[in-house]
Amino acid sequence: MERYMMDLASNNPARVQLTSIGKSFEGRDIWMVHVSPDGSRISDSDSASPGSVWIEGGLHAREWISPSSTLHLLHERVTACDSQCDLDYYFVPIANPDGYEYSRTTDRMWRKNRAVTTRSDCGGVDLNRNWDYKFGVGASSDPCSETYMGPAAFSEPETRALSNAMSKVDNLKLMITFHSFGQAVLYPWGWTNEPIEDKEQLVRAGNAFADAAMRITGKSYAVENSAGGLYFASGATDDWAKKVLNAPYSFTIELRDSGMNGFILDASEIGPTAREVVAGVSALISEIRK
């Protein structure tokens, strides 16, 4: 995956830039790929793009379909430039590289990062409970829990790197973090059941993703509020991007599940899931540009 990102950057020097936004707990690079607008699409070369899109993948270690689909989407955005390549795209396909590696080598069902905690027998912080907005609501303070929020908001190098880089993005219009499983487009809030004020436009954009996915593969995605549709959970990427960065559109998209164990998909699902994501994101962006 790293080699793919490096090759993409070196083969497309005018549009693709690869940067390490920081190191993980164990010292791995966290890579961000910036895809700039295609120059030919912008009439005035001095003018800024109409907006930026941030795509996060792999925050949870065992959700392998997330980095995979994120890379497919990245590939499509670079190689199949269409009416949407006047935007700036920022991709972090493997937001939790230590966890991903640990899931590959040691414990397939690992979720968190690989931080050493106060408990020698229980490591790891749930990076989707560690963001600095409503930290601690609907999360666990027990290091042995799968949803351990960590000792403090942004205690983890991964969430610090991600939030620092996301904060520097100009004119952030859309944030999507890909997770699995459950086939759902989740919109804020995750920390409260109070309906969000711009619910209508979030649902409209979410429906555009779901309708496109249905058209392309027949799979159904529910469009629902994080807290109501799923469960209370705070300190996640979506609520932070919406509240702190004021990104008008912020979603957690839960990708495919399968019959046996939703996290462990058959390899034959990789291609179709990626096609759903590519069609879904493209439809979602078209909808929000209206």
For the annotated catalytic residues, the residue numbers are 254
- Least Å distance, CB 230 to ligand 0X9, is 6
Q: What is the rounded CA–CA span in Å between residue 146 and residue 129?
A: 10
CA-based nearest residue to 93, from 126, 128, 62, 58: 58
| 285: enclosing H helix or E strand | helix 270-289
- Least Å distance, CB 43 to ligand 0X9, is 39
Are 88 and 37 in contact by the 8 Å Cβ rule? The answer is yes
- Least Å distance, CB 208 to Zn ion, is 22
Applying CB under 6 A, the span of 4-12, 37-45, 226-234, 268-276 interacting with ligand 0X9 comes to 226-234
Q: Order of strands across the sheet with 249-255?
A: 16-23, 29-35, 88-92, 52-57, 172-180, 249-255, 184-187, 222-225
Applying CB under 6 A, the span of 7-15, 148-156, 193-201, 234-242 interacting with ligand 0X9 comes to 234-242
Q: What is the rounded CA–CA span in Å between residue 185 and residue 270?
A: 18
Question: Which tokens in the block code for residue 161?
Answer: 């790197």
Given 78, 87, 233, 278, the residue binding ligand 0X9 (CB under 6 A): 233
State which residue has the least CB distance to ligand 0X9: 190
Applying CB under 6 A, the span of 7-15, 35-43, 149-157, 236-244 interacting with ligand 0X9 comes to 236-244
- Least Å distance, CB 112 to Zn ion, is 10
Q: What track of x and - describes contact with Zn ion for positions 34 through 73 (by CB under 5 A)?
A: --------------------------x--x----------
Are 250 and 187 in contact by the 8 Å Cβ rule? The answer is yes
Q: What track of x and - describes contact with ligand 0X9 for positions 119 through 138 (by CB under 6 A)?
A: ---------x----------
DSSP summary character for residue 233: -
Beta strand pairing call for 184-187 and 29-35? unpaired
Q: What is the rounded CA–CA span in Å between residue 87 and residue 38?
A: 8
Given 179, 242, 256, 275, the residue binding Zn ion (CB under 5 A): 179
Are 77 and 85 in contact by the 8 Å Cβ rule? The answer is yes
239 lines the binding site for ligand 0X9 (CB under 6 A): yes
Residues touching ligand 0X9, count (CB under 6 A): 14
112 lines the binding site for Zn ion (CB under 5 A): no
60 lines the binding site for ligand 0X9 (CB under 6 A): yes
- Least Å distance, CB 282 to Zn ion, is 23
Triad 49, 22, 29: Cα angle to 5°: 105
Triad 229, 69, 236: Cα angle to 5°: 40
Given 190, 221, 225, 242, the residue binding ligand 0X9 (CB under 6 A): 190
Residues that bind Zn ion (CB under 5 A): 60, 63, 179
Q: What residues make contact with ligand 0X9 under the rule CB under 6 A?
A: 60, 63, 128, 179, 186, 190, 226, 230, 233, 236, 238-239, 252, 254
